[in-house]
């Protein structure tokens, strides 16, 4: 059985294959249909070829702050710097007022996967024109989201995938 895409997303067949694979993997590691997977269920070796395009944002308990727990090499390349271990609001000054920060907070609140295709919301390499990504909530206890697992595929102005 294939997981259903988030309601705002096109059919899975229209997703980039890397984005679709991470979504299917996330779905496969859920401990039960009504529970979210936690970091303890995630094994990077299961999706080693996707890891350069993956990053994780860990939510600080009881706050709206995030820390970059893991940042793949393609994400580092697009951002033109390594932010692994940094607080999101320190890596991106003005973050609390930025639409992407609010987007991530909403993902925590909703606890549902979200797919997006469009222009990057953060300053990235000027040769990056578009992205496709899925944001996948994770919860150590299966219910309270404490981590966002995200894959981002970057595209150049020519529409071709960057960093292949």
Q: Are 58 and 85 in contact, with CB atoms under 8 Å apart?
A: no
Specify the pLDDT at position 1: 44
pTM of model > 0.75: yes
Distance in angstroms (rounded) separating the CA atoms of residues 63 and 40: 22
Q: How many domains does the chain have?
A: 1
CATH code for the domain in which residue 57 is found: 3.30.450.20
Q: Which of 61, 51, 68, 47 is nearest to 108 (CA)?
A: 61
Q: Which of 71, 12, 27, 22 is nearest to 47 (CA)?
A: 22
In a domain, 36, yes or no: no
- Give the residue numbers spanning the domain of 102: 13-29+48-156
Per-residue pLDDT of the chain (164 residues; tens, 9 = 90+): 456 666 678 889 999 999 999 999 999 999 999 999 999 999 999 999 999 999 999 998 877 788 999 999 999 988 889 999 998 888 887 666 667 777 788 888 888 999 999 888 776 788 888 999 999 999 999 999 999 999 999 999 898 998 77
- DSSP strands (E only) in 26-164: 54-59, 66-71, 114-118, 128-138, 147-156
Q: Are 115 and 5 in contact, with CB atoms under 8 Å apart?
A: yes
- β 128-138/114-118 pair status: antiparallel
In a domain, 164, yes or no: no
In a domain, 3, yes or no: no
In a domain, 43, yes or no: no
What stretches of 12-158 show up as alpha helix (H) in DSSP?
A: 17-28, 73-79, 88-91, 99-110
Largest Cα–Cα distance of the chain, in whole Å?
A: 43
In a domain, 64, yes or no: yes
């Amino acid at each position: 059985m294939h997981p259903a895409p988030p309601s705002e997303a096109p059919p899975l067949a229209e997703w980039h294959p890397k984005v679709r694979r991470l979504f299917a993997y996330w779905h496969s590691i859920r401990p039960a249909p009504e529970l979210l997977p936690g970091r303890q269920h995630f094994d990077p070796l299961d999706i080693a070829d996707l890891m350069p395009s993956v990053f994780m944002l860990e939510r600080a308990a009881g706050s709206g702050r995030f820390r970059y727990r893991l940042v793949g090499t393609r994400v580092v390349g697009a951002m033109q710097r390594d932010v692994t271990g940094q607080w999101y609001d320190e890596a991106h000054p003005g973050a609390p007022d930025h639409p992407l920060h609010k987007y991530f907070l909403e993902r925590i609140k909703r606890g549902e996967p979200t797919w997006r295709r469009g222009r990057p919301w953060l300053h990235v390499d000027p040769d990056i024109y578009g992205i496709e990504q899925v944001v996948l909530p994770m919860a150590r206890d299966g219910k309270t989201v404490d981590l966002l697992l995200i894959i981002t595929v970057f595209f150049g102005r020519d529409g071709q995938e960057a960093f292949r």
